Amino acid sequence: MSYLIFIVGIAFNGFASFALKLLGERTDHLASLATLREPLFWLAIFLFGMNVIFYALFLQRTNLAIGYPAFVGGTFAIVLALSFFILRETLSFPQIFGIALIFGGIILAVR
């Protein structure tokens, strides 16, 4: 059950960040009251809210020292995949190497 909570939580977090990125590309008033009229903004808020619930449930079932890096790393992977495959953002070799180091560190931290 903890794995399902983990996967759903990082998906909510990753997609919320993705929604904000899309909104930021669509509008020049992201940091203004006009943003409150944007449905994509409210979708991001909802997704972030759901993320908090699933993150809390996940932390209930694991140690903070393990849960936090795993959750952040999982979210990092979702955002990376969305930005690469959907937004067609490019990654240089140093970025790929840095990402590999981050994932290696997370793997070591959660062991």
Question: What's the whole-model pTM score?
Answer: 0.84
> At 11, is the pLDDT very low, low, confident or very high (cuts 50, 70, 90)?
very high
71 Cβ contact list (under 8 Å, min separation 6): 6, 9, 10, 13, 55, 58
Q: How many CB atoms lie within 10 A of CB 97?
A: 11
Domain residue extents for the chain: 2-110
Q: Give tens-digit pLDDT for 43-82.
A: 999 999 999 999 999 999 999 988 888 898 889 888 888 9
pLDDT over 80 at 29, yes or no:
no
In whole angstroms, give the CA distance from residue 31 to residue 8. 28
